[in-house]
């Protein structure tokens, strides 16, 4: 089985009350306007771009984007990935306005389990309860962009394979960022714009 993202989960984020998308094989996103297709695609920035300042959400300001994806402490973006140590989840959690409002990054070992986040009444658990449940799975905050990158790539790796486009690109190279931004705009990304690693 190949390494990389296997599932995206949105909880109280963007237009989604709850969304869980398996990334095995091809994924087609179809729906009427204003139903969350671009919201879903834009979430890939939170996985692949390690610095909020480098993310691009079109005409929306960073504050508007934060409020959209992380309106409060019950908002989550989660990416179940397969890495060198097996399954892990890389996530972002919204914060209350009293705590500064900036979302926090975290990770934990093991596959995504909805019961860690959602209770029997289909309500999002309190953040302290979620943290307690995830503590058993090596939960830790991600404090830096470098730490974020190292979760996705082995320390010796200098490239990432983007399975959706079949290209090997340098992590955080201009071509890599351009590719991610092009996906998010659903426009103009072509193979000619990528510079393969030699």
Distance separating alpha carbons of residues 104 and 127, to the nearest angstrom: 12
Average pLDDT value over all residues in the chain: 78
State how beta strands 4-13 and 16-22 pair.
Answer: antiparallel
What the chain holds in terms of domains, given with CATH numbers, is 4-155 (3.40.50), 158-198 (no CATH)
H-helix or E-strand spanning residue 175? helix 174-185
pLDDT at 55 over 90: no
CA–CA–CA angle 37, 41, 43 (5° rounding): 120
How high is the pLDDT of residue 179?
59
Q: How confident is the model at residue 53 (pLDDT cuts 50, 70, 90)?
A: confident
Instruction: Output the pTM of the full model.
Output: 0.78
Quick one: which of 3, 6, 48, 53 has its CA closest to 183? Answer: 48
DSSP 122: S
How high is the pLDDT of residue 169?
42
pLDDT digits (tens, 9 = 90+) for 78-115: 999 887 678 899 999 999 876 777 899 999 999 999 99
How high is the pLDDT of residue 77?
96
How high is the pLDDT of residue 188?
47
Q: How confident is the model at residue 33 (pLDDT cuts 50, 70, 90)?
A: confident
Distance separating alpha carbons of residues 83 and 152, to the nearest angstrom: 7
Asked if 29 and 37 touch (Cβ cutoff 8 Å), the reply is: yes
Quick one: which of 135, 150, 85 has its CA closest to 160? Answer: 150
Distance separating alpha carbons of residues 23 and 162, to the nearest angstrom: 13
Q: Which residues pair with 161 in a beta bridge?
A: 168
Distances (CA, A) of 172 to 56, 71, 101, 126: 14, 28, 26, 35
Distance separating alpha carbons of residues 26 and 69, to the nearest angstrom: 25
Picking from 7-21, 68-82, 116-130, 169-183, which range would have the lowest pLDDT averaged per residue? 169-183
pLDDT above 90 covers what percent of the chain? 38
Q: How confident is the model at residue 1 (pLDDT cuts 50, 70, 90)?
A: low
How high is the pLDDT of residue 94?
94
Distance separating alpha carbons of residues 188 and 74, to the nearest angstrom: 35
pLDDT at 29 over 50: yes
């Amino acid at each position: 089985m190949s390494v990389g993202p296997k599932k995206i989960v949105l909880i109280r984020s963007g237009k989604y009350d709850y969304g869980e998308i398996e990334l095995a094989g091809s994924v087609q996103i179809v729906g009427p306007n204003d139903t969350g297709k671009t919201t879903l695609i834009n979430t890939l920035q939170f996985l692949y771009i390690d610095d909020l300042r480098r993310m691009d959400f079109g005409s929306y300001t960073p504050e508007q984007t934060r409020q959209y994806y992380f309106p409060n402490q019950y908002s989550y973006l989660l990416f179940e990935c397969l890495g060198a140590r097996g399954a892990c989840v890389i996530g972002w959690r919204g914060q209350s306005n009293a705590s500064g409002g900036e979302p926090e990054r975290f990770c934990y070992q093991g596959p995504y389990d909805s019961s860690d986040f959602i209770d029997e009444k289909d309500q999002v658990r309190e953040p302290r309860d979620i943290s307690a449940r995830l503590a058993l799975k090596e939960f830790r905050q991600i404090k830096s962009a470098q730490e974020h990158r190292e979760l996705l790539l082995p320390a010796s790796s200098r490239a990432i394979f983007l399975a959706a486009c079949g290209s090997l690109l340098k992590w955080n190279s201009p071509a890599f960022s351009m590719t991610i931004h092009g996906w998010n705009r659903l426009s103009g990304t072509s193979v000619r714009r990528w510079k393969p690693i030699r």
